[in-house]
């Protein structure tokens, strides 16, 4: 990848979760906390050739969205962080399937980079299965489908004559 593509990749990926100065803002990363470029390069290196090409195409097509959408001679990198985030939100619901999927592919990379950052992961309480007092267990919080299964089993135990279909 060229230095320009690397800069675009970082600008695009970081726009999915703009940085904040305070750790009290939940999952928003602190400045420099998330290494988006390393995750992008790692995913590209371990992908098939076609998938690697898709990642690179995603950077180009999404970065040049102002040009092909509105004829403006600028890239998404030239926009403010807030404007980039808004533009990415638009592209995620774009009428064209390919545009939506390429934007989603970049969002996936950004998500992987966010959860690779220890600070963001700790603030999310993702690894803490007993972290939420509102839930009886972390299993309920993380795996909603299991809650339904457990509830149905509990209901069947409460009604011994009832049989499942």
Say what the pTM is.
Answer: 0.70
For residue 7, what pLDDT band results from cuts at 50, 70 and 90? very high
For residue 140, what pLDDT band results from cuts at 50, 70 and 90? very low
Burial degree of 30 (CB within 10 A; 0-12, 13-18, 19+):
middle
104 plus 135 within the same structural domain:
no
- Burial per residue of 94-117, b for 16 or more beta-carbon CB atoms within 10 angstroms, e otherwise: beeeebeebbebbbebbeebbbeb
pLDDT at 26: 66
31 plus 15 within the same structural domain:
yes
**Residues with Cβ within 8 Å of residue 74, at least 6 apart in sequence:** 66, 67
Host domain of residue 91? 3-126
For residue 158, what pLDDT band results from cuts at 50, 70 and 90? low
46 plus 97 within the same structural domain:
yes
Residue where the block lists tokens 């457990």: 150
Total residues found in the chain within this entry: 165
Residue 119 has pLDDT above 60, yes or no: yes
Question: Is 40 in contact with 9 (CB distance < 8 Å)?
Answer: yes
122 plus 132 within the same structural domain:
no
pLDDT at 156: 63
- Alpha carbon distances (Å) from 123 to 41, 103, 136, 159: 25, 26, 20, 41
Question: How many Cα atoms within 13 Å fall on the side-chain side of residue 61?
Answer: 20
Determine if residue 135 is left, alpha or beta; phi over 0 gives left, psi from -120 to 50 gives alpha, anything else beta. Answer: beta
Between CA 154 and CA 89 the distance in angstroms is 41
Between CA 58 and CA 64 the distance in angstroms is 10
141 plus 122 within the same structural domain:
no
Q: How many domains does the chain have?
A: 2
106 plus 142 within the same structural domain:
no
For residue 165, what pLDDT band results from cuts at 50, 70 and 90? very low
Centre a 10 Å sphere on the Cβ of residue 134 and count the other Cβ atoms it contains: 6
108 plus 30 within the same structural domain:
yes
């Amino acid at each position: 990848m060229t230095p320009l593509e690397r800069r675009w990749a970082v600008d695009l990926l970081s726009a999915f979760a703009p940085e904040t100065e305070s750790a009290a803002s939940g999952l928003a990363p602190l400045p420099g906390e998330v290494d988006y470029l390393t995750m992008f390069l790692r995913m590209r290196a371990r992908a098939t050739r076609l998938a690697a090409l898709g990642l690179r195409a995603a950077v180009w097509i999404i970065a040049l969205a102002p040009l092909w959408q509105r004829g403006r001679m600028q890239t998404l990198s030239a926009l403010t962080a807030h404007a980039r985030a808004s533009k990415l939100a638009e592209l995620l619901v774009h009428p064209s399937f390919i545009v939506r999927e390429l934007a989603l592919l970049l969002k996936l990379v950004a998500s992987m980079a966010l959860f690779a950052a220890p600070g963001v992961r700790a603030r999310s309480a993702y690894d803490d299965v007993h972290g939420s007092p509102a839930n009886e267990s972390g299993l309920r919080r993380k795996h909603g489908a299991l809650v339904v299964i457990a509830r149905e089993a509990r209901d069947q135990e409460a009604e011994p004559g009832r049989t499942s279909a």
